[in-house]
Amino acid sequence: MLPLPNADRRVAAEWEPQACVWIAWPHNHATWPGRFETMPPFFAKWVQLIAESLPVNVLVNPESAAQCDQLVGPRRNVEVIDLLTNDCWVRDYGPTFVLSDNDQQLSCVDWQYNAWGGKYPPWDLDAAVCQALAKRLNLPVVTSTLVVEGGALEFDGGGRLLTTSDCLLAMNRNPKATEADVSEELHRLTGVTEIVWLRGGGLEGDDTDGHVDQLARFIDQQNVVVCTSNHAQDKHCLLYTSPSPRDRG
């Protein structure tokens, strides 16, 4: 069982108003072997589209700054920030922003990060990003001992969390942690009071070990959209078809 509800701490849902969007500029050629040249123009278009409605902060390695400036161009709502990274997946290694004091206070959770279970070294620069951003934003930061990527956590903004046991309880992330241990830490740091643990594995060829953000997402506090297949020969049509047990606080 989870502890008593922590009503004064929560992670906002992604559909709530946002101050900005954080993106890390692509520079690691090994991430897209033979296809890297198409990625900077794609990211530039992505930044431009988001900037039409929201400020965008782009983390850029110094050697890529000129390319980013050239492709994105002078744009309202875009700030380019020099910060060293190993790769561009800031959703996974960046901070989890937590609201408290009736949504008046913002803080950061700094999870441990090991590039999806040690698959893609080095990751030291990515693992340092949360602390660097918290310092830049002058926000308090709490460090967890759990290895967690942002793509493994799906919040509804009201205390409910979707995640997968295959990822958070993986031997290459948190080998000594139990489901109860992880639940307690998630509650302590993010205020969640209900965790829906999805079980059954990730997508074929998935190197995240089952990130929930490619399997199921909240679209509001009552509805979830789920990735499924209706092809009889596709093994994914068998995933996540039975009710998942819930930890309730």
1 within a domain of the structure (yes/no): no
222 within a domain of the structure (yes/no): yes
2 within a domain of the structure (yes/no): no
The answer to whether 157 and 16 are in contact (CB under 8 A) is yes
44 within a domain of the structure (yes/no): yes
Total-model pTM = 0.90
- Residue 244: give the domain boundaries: 9-248
Question: Count of domains in the chain?
Answer: 1
Treating both helix axes as pointing N-terminal to C-terminal, what angle do 39-51 and 65-72 enclose, rounded to 10 degrees?
A: 60
Q: Please report, in tens digits, the pLDDT of each residue of the chain (249 residues total).
A: 444 445 589 999 999 999 999 999 999 999 999 999 999 999 999 999 999 999 999 999 999 999 999 999 998 999 999 999 999 999 999 999 999 999 999 999 999 999 999 999 999 999 999 999 999 999 999 999 999 999 999 999 999 999 999 999 999 999 999 999 999 999 999 999 999 999 876 677 889 999 999 999 999 999 999 877 777 777 766 554 444 444 444
CB atoms within 10 A of CB 118: 11
3 within a domain of the structure (yes/no): no
121 within a domain of the structure (yes/no): yes
158 within a domain of the structure (yes/no): yes
CATH code assigned at 219: 3.75.10.10
140 within a domain of the structure (yes/no): yes
